[in-house]
Amino acid sequence: MKMLLITAATTLMLPLAAQAQTTPDQTTPDDQNSASSSSSSPTTGDVSASSYGSGTTDADSLQVSGGGTAEAADGGTASTDSRAQFNENNAHARTVATARDDDERARSMTNTHVRRDGEVRSRSMTIYKERGEKPVIDRDVSTSD
């Protein structure tokens, strides 16, 4: 049995200039907000896909990361894509992992958003489908509340 395994990951950290009224020693772990999510397909078939994402923000920085894996056996195809974008107010990471063969397919997606105002949210979803069967869907949502 021939296996195809593809993995992708991204990490992005954006330091922000501290405001004039804030001293660097004022930041404590209580001032930090974070969230993470992950999702994966069942591993019983010939294809599987998984993805994850996490984000953190505090007074001085934004950080976002994500990645995924996709596996396909018996001549199937697998692909992953991980991207991150940022500006001074927010950061965003997106990961998609896809695997398929003749009678099965799996797709996993994660989106993570980090905002300068302290809001962090991460959403993951995986869909696994066999020919002639209903899809199996797994979702995970996390926020920094």
CA distances from 5 to 21, 60, 71, 129 (A): 50, 37, 5, 19
Q: Which residue from 54, 73, 71 is spatially nearest to 63, judged by alpha carbons? A: 54
End-to-end CA distance of the chain: 46
pLDDT confidence of residue 29? 56
pLDDT confidence of residue 61? 87
Structure-token pair, residue 127: 């869909």
β partners of residue 70? 6, 49
Q: Write down the pTM of the prediction.
A: 0.78
Could you tell me if 41 and 106 are in contact, meaning their C-beta atoms sit under 8 angstroms apart? yes
Spell out the domain ranges in the chain: 3-7+33-143
What is the maximal distance between C-alpha atoms in the chain? Answer: 63
Query: pLDDT tens per residue, the chain (145 residues)?
Result: 445 555 556 655 544 332 222 223 334 356 788 888 888 887 778 999 999 999 999 888 889 999 999 999 988 999 999 999 998 889 999 999 999 999 999 999 999 999 988 899 999 999 999 999 999 999 999 998 6
Could you tell me if 66 and 94 are in contact, meaning their C-beta atoms sit under 8 angstroms apart? yes
pLDDT confidence of residue 6? 59
